[in-house]
Amino acid sequence: MVNFFNVLNIPYTDNEKIIKKAFYKKVKELHPDTGKYNDKEFNLLIEAYKTLIDSKKRREYLKSLEETSKTKKYKKIPKNRIIFPNNLANILKRVKILDKKRYREIKKDFKVDLYILLDREDIEKSIVFEIDLPLRKICPVCFGNDEYCHLCNGIGTIITSYKHSFIINPPFYNKEQRELSINKIKSGQFLVKKILIEILIK
């Protein structure tokens, strides 16, 4: 299945302004006057634009794309490539920043929850990664019914960590930020509803 977001070279978005801007840019690139006109590419571009600019068609397309991606293998990102911004030393070491200018650029960007480090060969695949998230759940000792419980101190709930998996689909761009929603689960309530990540491509 053709990825129309890749055709327009844009991230997964429902922003019509971004879609239109990318479309017009591509039309100029493929215009016959440039000498780069290709009938097949141009028709694919038109199809991508008509699908993504229409909210109903876009929803249906995204659903089909998601079903298709489920049959593909995901690239699992190891823990050492998931960096929390409070660990600057690890970021500098892995991104191999050699000059002060890039150091200052990344340091001032500490407005995200975590960084995902990707190799060039990873950027065409869907990726999956796991992180521990704080979870509030019913006390497993008193089940919320004992005010003298030694584990929850009578509160009825405890806070623990829970491994949560995220799947992100391409295209990926260096220093691209994405906001990820946290799915609800039956065993408790997450203390965060979403996280902001930044992609760093080595």
The conformational region for residue 9 under phi > 0 = left, psi -120 to 50 = alpha, else beta, is: left
Angle ∠(6,9,14) on CA atoms, nearest 5: 85
pLDDT in tens, 25-41: 888 887 777 766 777 88
Q: Which amino acid is at 51?
A: T
Alpha helices, DSSP H, located in 76-171:
88-95, 100-107
Domain ranges of the chain: 4-71, 76-201
Rg (CA), the chain: 22
Does residue 77 have a pLDDT over 80?
yes
CA distance 177 to 187: 30
Q: Which residue type is seen at 74?
A: Y
Q: What distance in Å separates the CA atoms of residue 156 and residue 143, rounded to the nearest whole number? A: 7
Residue pair 98/104 in contact by the 8 Å Cβ criterion? no
**Are 192 and 134 within 8 A, CB to CB?**
yes
| Closest-CA residue to 126 (of 112, 116, 134, 139) | 116
- pLDDT, position 133: 85
CATH class of domain segment(s) 4-71? mainly alpha
> For 123-140, what is each residue's pLDDT tens digit?
777 888 888 888 889 998
Q: What is the pLDDT of residues 145-158, one digit of tens each?
A: 998 998 889 999 99
User: What pLDDT does 49 receive?
Assistant: 92
% of the chain residues with pLDDT over 90: 8
pLDDT at 98 over 50: no
